[in-house]
């Protein structure tokens, strides 16, 4: 009974539970059904908006939610993709980031752009794609990439419809090139090669994928899943200003609404100081004139800010260097080959004027010319943004002739210009810094003041190298000494001149002894002056001492450069791995610039000279050679002489010269420098000697037959002559000719006859010599030149010739900036003559004369005389063949006719080649009887328009 009672009681208790469970199951089924209906409704609404979920995708509630969230990230007008329904298909197979990679195994699109494929999410080990996602959980990362996949598909459709990625505004940001847009470009590729410059690796495939993958990151950033996922300065909106603006402008121009504004970016805003920005300058680091390896110059960009509440010294002003990151690699054949074939990376470095001054003005002794960019305020803001971006991600292959500092400057600038403006490279196969300045100056724009004018304007206040300042100081010192003649007592003046001779000695010990005597000689000289002239004498003595110290400063800077080169040679000679190799330097920079918080805690690798010193301090090295040891000892003595010079100058300025205002002296010296540079610039030609074409019409007077008309066309990749005054050119002390050729034709019925042709492959001459205190050998007091050329003349027995010549040049007379000069050259000539049937080498000495006289008016106006004589012995001949030639040319600048400048160049020239045959009878004394050969005479009028 008890057992049955318990059973009945249990049954009674169980019945309500089972009944409840039944009702609960009915409710659960009903809820599930409602959820399915709700999901179906959401899928239906997505289909109405043009996004169709197929198969499994339509039943995945989590996926539907992320699709909806991805569409919500787009402006409302963009949420319905063009081109018909967009089908999303979900596969069970895994794929990186849950999206296809364009391969047949993992396609992202099929049936054209109709069907977009999604896959089971798998994490990626791609550094750039995951760099900003480190704080997200795996679940959050999956949700993020699902949303980005939706944005990818929709934006791809819009890009297909409106060709956003095909616009110059977008393509120029990464440097996208179409097939055959440049030589050796066979498929679409970007000039920027760094993976970190793209949102993920897929974006490096094409400009379209670059835009679409960037839209993923911009519209669905990491902070959209978690607010604290990234510091503000590391967010994409504060890193990719230019791409964000370009995409936003394309969306707005297509009538699809506007993307959200970027908001504040504390690190960039503090760095840019846009409210205090004055303007931008392009800097040309000019050649020294004696070092041909620096001939082509180097371009940099300098933002200039107004002085703020906190003074910023000149050394702390910023400058943007556009350089190949070569590290400490040896400057040998491999270095040259890598520099010409893209073995190095061009990088954008933001350094300081102090770093640049130390490297260029002091160690390399290269002055820096300044040119102002006339940009609008909007363009100036964009330039700062581009500098910020490219310093972090702007890595491009370096090719010496085409992808160098000049092309990098154009790349940076074109990414900032507004209203569709673009500056094209000056040439396809050779982008010269000086020719790039020509191109910039020829583009007329509206400046910030609303006035039309050239994009580039010369600023007549160059940053002067200590070497060029020493040249100017040397002339000023000579003038100060000459002005003291008659102002001092005879003995005191003689003593001062004796010290002056010692201060020009190339031996630093001799100069140091002269500085030791100055504290005694200067007071005695001042005391010997008449009372009424003493104030003037004091100022001139102050100037003399100041200029002498400036010359000594250049000497110690040169000595430091020599010391660094020796230490580098000793380090590289042991051939051990050292920090600072090119590849390692690139990787280190890229790592540093990945995160703004880390960057702010560590100074970027900017000062290459300091890097070199740091690497050498820790690396092993070989002992110095005897010659290196001699140079190191000389450098130490030069430094000691400079220290003594500054000590003496300080003592004199605190003593007998204390009444002279040093600030006024510096102000007046700078005023005179600017005035001289302004005067020269006003008469100088604006354009460089790159890409010149001269058409001439003239008359030839051959030995046989009558006069004949001749038409000549001369073209040159580069042609700048000695004494040329060019704002964008090289030093007037230097001459450079590259691929400089002239073809002369005789016009006649039918095909014109070729009279002659000549081509200078490369030629260089310089008249610049070292100052007396810097001369270590006789060679330092001479100029020099070398040339390689080929020419053909129908009048010669052997019409074709290739020649190589070199010479030392003695300057007999020179003017300021070589506006006039006379130089005599002595050297050698080696030639190879040939015709269809014979080949004859020859060699001999060569003597030349070069003269230029400047004429009134433009600095381009001049008369030139070039003459040369070379007796050569040809293999197989029993006599010496003599060659002589002379050319007299007038150069007259006619001015500008619209956008073109016109230069008139009439010339007379004569060439003679033959042998000297003494007459058999003494009574025949006419010189003409001694000459046996052929002569060519020509009068021509040339016209050049640029």
pLDDT at residue number 914: 85
pLDDT at residue number 79: 95
pLDDT at residue number 501: 95
Mean pLDDT of the chain: 88
Per-residue pLDDT averaged across 344-371, rounded?
A: 90
pLDDT at residue 746 is higher than 80: yes
**Phi and psi torsions of 940, nearest 5°:** -145, 150
DSSP three-state, residue 476: helix
pLDDT at residue 432 is higher than 60: yes
DSSP string, 542-584: HHHHHHHHHHHHHHHHHHHHHHHHHHHHHHHHT----TTBHHH
pLDDT at residue number 2: 36
Q: CB count, 10 Å around CB of 798?
A: 19
Q: CA Rg, the chain, in Å?
A: 38
Task: Determine contact, residues 453/374, Cβ cutoff 8 Å.
Answer: yes
pLDDT at residue number 25: 52
Lowest mean pLDDT among 537-541, 563-567, 866-870: 563-567
Tens digits of per-residue pLDDT, 147-166? Answer: 999 999 999 999 999 999 99
pLDDT confidence tier of residue 444, bands split at 50, 70 and 90: confident
Task: Name beta bridge partners: 738.
Answer: 718, 762
CA distance 567 to 634: 15
Using CB atoms within 10 A of its CB, is residue 88 exposed (0-12), middle (13-18) or buried (19+)? Answer: buried
What percent of the chain clears pLDDT 90, i.e. is strictly above it?
69
Q: Which residue would you say has higher pLDDT here, 455 or 2?
A: 455
CA distance 615 to 893: 52
Q: Where do we find the tokens 């409710």?
A: 27
Using CB atoms within 10 A of its CB, is residue 350 exposed (0-12), middle (13-18) or buried (19+)? Answer: middle
Task: Determine contact, residues 830/845, Cβ cutoff 8 Å.
Answer: no
Tens digits of per-residue pLDDT, 635-659? Answer: 999 999 999 999 999 999 999 999 9
Q: ∠540-542-547 over CA atoms, to 5°? A: 95
Tens digits of per-residue pLDDT, 470-480? Answer: 999 999 999 99
DSSP string, 553-564: HHHHHHHHHHHH
Of 59, 56, 55, the closest CA to residue 32 belongs to 59
Q: CB count, 10 Å around CB of 379?
A: 20
Task: Name beta bridge partners: 459.
Answer: 370
pLDDT confidence tier of residue 181, bands split at 50, 70 and 90: confident
In 747-879, beta strands by DSSP E? 753-766, 783-793, 800-814, 821-834, 839-854, 862-874
- The three-state DSSP-derived secondary structure of 677-694 is HHHHHHHCECCCCEEEEE
Q: Where do we find the tokens 């409210």?
A: 275
pLDDT confidence tier of residue 184, bands split at 50, 70 and 90: confident
pLDDT confidence tier of residue 931, bands split at 50, 70 and 90: low
CA distance 303 to 177: 29
pLDDT at residue 929 is higher than 60: no
CA distance 942 to 713: 9
Of 743, 744, 687, 697, the closest CA to residue 719 belongs to 687
pLDDT confidence tier of residue 837, bands split at 50, 70 and 90: confident
pLDDT at residue 399 is higher than 80: yes
In 365-405, beta strands by DSSP E? 368-373, 396-398
| 342, HSE (Cβ side, Cα atoms, 13 Å) | 8
Tens digits of per-residue pLDDT, 555-605? Answer: 999 999 999 888 888 877 765 554 446 677 777 778 878 888 667 655 444
Tens digits of per-residue pLDDT, 9-51? Answer: 333 333 343 444 444 455 566 677 788 889 999 999 999 999 9
pLDDT confidence tier of residue 840, bands split at 50, 70 and 90: very high
pLDDT at residue number 602: 55
Task: Name beta bridge partners: 881.
Answer: 872
CA distance 524 to 519: 9
Q: Give the dihedral sign, CA 193/195/200/201.
A: positive
The helix or strand, by DSSP H or E, that contains position 458, with its residue range, turns out to be strand 456-463
Tens digits of per-residue pLDDT, 890-919? Answer: 999 999 877 788 999 999 999 998 887 655
pLDDT confidence tier of residue 106, bands split at 50, 70 and 90: very high
Tens digits of per-residue pLDDT, 60-83? Answer: 999 999 999 999 999 999 999 999
Q: Where do we find the tokens 């760095």?
A: 271
pLDDT at residue number 5: 39
pLDDT at residue number 420: 81
Of 715, 724, 717, the closest CA to residue 758 belongs to 715
pLDDT at residue number 15: 32
């Amino acid at each position: 009974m008890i057992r049955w009672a318990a059973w009945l009681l249990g049954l009674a208790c169980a019945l309500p539970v089972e009944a409840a469970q039944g009702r609960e199951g009915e409710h659960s089924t009903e809820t599930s059904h409602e959820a399915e209906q709700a999901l179906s409704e959401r899928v239906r609404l997505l289909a109405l908006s043009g996004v169709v979920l197929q198969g499994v995708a339509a039943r995945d509630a989590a996926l539907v939610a992320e699709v909806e969230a991805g569409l919500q990230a787009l402006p409302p007008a963009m949420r319905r993709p063009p081109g018909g329904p967009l089908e999303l298909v979900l596969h069970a197979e895994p794929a990186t980031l849950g999206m296809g990679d364009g391969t047949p195994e993992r396609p992202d699109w099929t049936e054209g752009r109709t069907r977009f494929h999604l896959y089971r999410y798998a994490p990626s080990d791609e550094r750039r794609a995951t760099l900003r996602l480190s704080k997200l959980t795996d679940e959050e990362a999956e949700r993020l990439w699902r949303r980005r996949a939706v944005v990818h598909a929709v934006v791809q459709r819009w890009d297909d419809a409106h060709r956003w990625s095909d616009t110059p505004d977008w393509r120029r940001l990464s440097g996208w090139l179409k097939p055959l847009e440049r030589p050796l470009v066979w498929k679409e590729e970007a000039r920027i090669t760094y993976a970190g410059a793209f949102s993920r690796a897929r974006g490096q495939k094409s400009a379209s994928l670059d835009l679409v993958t960037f839209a993923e990151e911009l519209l669905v950033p990491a902070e959209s899943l978690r607010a604290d996922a990234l510091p503000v300065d590391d967010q994409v909106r504060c890193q990719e200003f230019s791409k964000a603006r370009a995409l936003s402008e394309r969306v707005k121009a297509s009538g699809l609404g506007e993307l959200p504004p970027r908001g504040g970016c504390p690190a960039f805003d503090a760095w840019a100081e846009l409210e205090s920005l004055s303007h931008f300058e392009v800097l040309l680091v000019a050649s020294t004139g004696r070092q041909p390896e620096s001939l082509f110059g180097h371009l940099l960009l300098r933002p200039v800010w107004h002085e703020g509440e906190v003074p910023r010294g000149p050394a702390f002003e910023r400058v943007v260097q556009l350089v190949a990151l070569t590290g400490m690699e040896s400057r040998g054949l491999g270095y040259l080959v890598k520099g010409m074939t893209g073995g190095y990376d061009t990088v954008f470095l933001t350094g300081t004027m102090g770093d640049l001054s130390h490297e260029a003005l002091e160690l390399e002794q290269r002055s820096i010319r300044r040119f102002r960019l006339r940009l609008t305020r909007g363009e100036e803001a964009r330039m700062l943004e581009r500098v910020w971006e490219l310093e972090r991600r702007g890595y491009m292959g370096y090719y010496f002739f085409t992808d160098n500092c000049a092309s990098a400057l154009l790349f940076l600038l074109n990414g900032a210009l507004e209203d569709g403006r673009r500056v094209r490279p000056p040439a396809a196969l050779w982008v010269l810094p000086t020719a790039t300045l020509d191109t910039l100056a020829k583009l007329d724009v509206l400046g910030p003041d609303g006035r039309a004018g050239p994009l580039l304007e010369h600023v007549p206040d160059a940053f002067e190298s200590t070497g060029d300042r020493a040249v100017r100081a040397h002339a000023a010192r000579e003038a100060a000494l000459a002005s003291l003649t008659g102002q001092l007592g005879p003995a005191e003046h003689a003593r001062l001149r004796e010290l002056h001779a010692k201060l020009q000695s190339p031996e630093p010990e001799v100069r140091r002894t002269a500085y030791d005597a100055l504290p005694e000689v200067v007071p005695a000289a001042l005391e010997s002056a008449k009372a009424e002239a003493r104030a003037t004498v004091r100022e001139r003595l102050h100037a003399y001492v100041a200029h002498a110290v400036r010359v000594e400063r250049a000497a110690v800077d040169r000595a430091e450069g020599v010391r660094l080169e020796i230490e580098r040679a000793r380090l590289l000679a042991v051939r051990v791995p050292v920090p600072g190799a090119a590849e390692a330097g690139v990787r280190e920079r890229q790592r540093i610039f990945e995160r703004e918080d880390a960057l702010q805690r560590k100074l970027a690798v900017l000062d290459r000279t300091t890097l070199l010193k740091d690497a050498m301090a820790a690396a092993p090295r070989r002992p110095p050679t005897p010659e290196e040891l001699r140079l190191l000892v000389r450098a130490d003595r030069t430094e000691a002489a400079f220290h003594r010079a500054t000590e003496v100058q300080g003592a004199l300025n605190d003593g007998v010269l204390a009444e002279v205002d040093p600030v006024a002296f510096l102000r007046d010296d700078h005023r005179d420098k600017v005035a001289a540079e302004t005067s020269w610039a006003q008469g100088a030609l604006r354009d460089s000697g790159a890409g010149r074409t001269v058409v001439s019409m003239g008359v030839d007077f051959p030995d046989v037959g009558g006069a004949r008309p001749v038409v000549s066309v001369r073209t040159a990749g580069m042609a700048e002559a000695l004494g040329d005054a060019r704002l964008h050119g090289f030093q007037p002390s230097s001459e450079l000719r590259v691929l400089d050729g002239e073809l002369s034709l005789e016009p006649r019925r039918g095909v014109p006859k070729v009279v002659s042709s000549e081509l200078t492959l490369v030629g260089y001459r310089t008249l610049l010599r070292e100052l007396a205190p810097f001369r270590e050998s006789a060679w330092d007091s001479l100029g020099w030149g070398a040339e390689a050329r080929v020419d053909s003349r129908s009048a010669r027995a052997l019409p074709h010739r290739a020649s190589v010549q070199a010479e030392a040049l003695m300057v007999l007379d020179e003017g300021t900036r070589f506006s006039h000069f006379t130089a005599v050259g002595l050297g050698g000539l080696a030639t190879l003559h040939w015709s269809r049937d014979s080949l004859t080498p020859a060699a001999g000495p060569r003597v030349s004369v070069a003269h230029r006289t400047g004429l009134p008016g433009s600095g381009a106006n001049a008369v030139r005389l070039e003459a040369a004589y070379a007796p050569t012995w040809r293999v197989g001949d029993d006599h010496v063949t003599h060659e002589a030639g002379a050319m007299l040319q007038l150069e007259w600048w006619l001015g500008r006719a619209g956008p073109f400048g016109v230069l008139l160049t009439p010339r007379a020239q004569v060439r003679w080649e033959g042998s000297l045959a003494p007459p058999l009878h003494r009574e025949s004394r006419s010189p003409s009887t001694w000459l046996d050969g052929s002569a060519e005479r020509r009068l021509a009028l040339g016209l050049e328009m640029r």
